[in-house]
Structure 1
Amino acid sequence: MKRLTISGTGEARTDVTIKEVLDRLRFYEDYDEREELLIHAFTIETTVLCSECGHSRSAVSETWIRPDLLKCDRFYTTKEEAEKALEQMKKDEE
C-alpha cells in the first residue's frame, strides 16, 4: 500500500487525491469495525529478547495475519481473551 503522507512530517504528498485519502480511511475503518485491524506490537526487524531464556535476536522480519483466522473460535487476539477461554474450557471439562 503506497504511503499517502511524507514520513516524519505527516504532510500529504502532492500527488495524492482526496479520493485516495477517503478510500484509505474507509479501508481502515472497515477493518476496525469488524475488529480485524492488527497493530504491530513490534516494528519489522526489531531485536526481541526471550523472557524465558534471555536469548535475543532480530526475530520479527514479517508480521501478517489472514483476516479469516480471526473468525475462528480458537484464535485469540489478546492474552486476556485466551486466558478467559482456557478457564472456560477447564470448567467445561469438570
Structure 2
Amino acid sequence: MSTPQPQDQFKLKLRDTPSPYISPLIEQLPDDHRPKPLPACASCPASMWRATTSRIECLCRMAGKISWDGRQEPTLFCDGREAAIAKLDE
C-alpha cells in the first residue's frame, strides 16, 4: 500500500448531515469575516466560538481543544459534529 503524498488531493465522500444549529457568533459575522471554507464546527452544537478584536477561534468541547483558529486547514467533516447533532435530535 502506498503512502499518500502531500500533493495528493484528499476527497471525502461522506454524508453531510444538515444541522439545525449554527453558531450564534458565526451567524452574526458579516460574510467577509466568516471562515472560508466554513468549518464543520460552525454548525456543530458541541462547538464554542469566541472572538477577540483581531481574530476568532473555536473550542471543540468534545475533543477539549482548539479546533479552528484560522492557522490550520478547517475541519470539513467530523464524527463529533454528527454525534452532537444526533444528541440534539434525541
Larger proportion of helix: 1
User: Shorter-chain TM-score: what band?
Assistant: under 0.3
Superposition TM-score, scaled by structure 2 size: 0.25
> Which structure's CA Rg is the greater one?
1
Larger proportion of strand: 2
Larger relative CO (CA 8 A, sep 6+): 1 or 2? Answer: 2
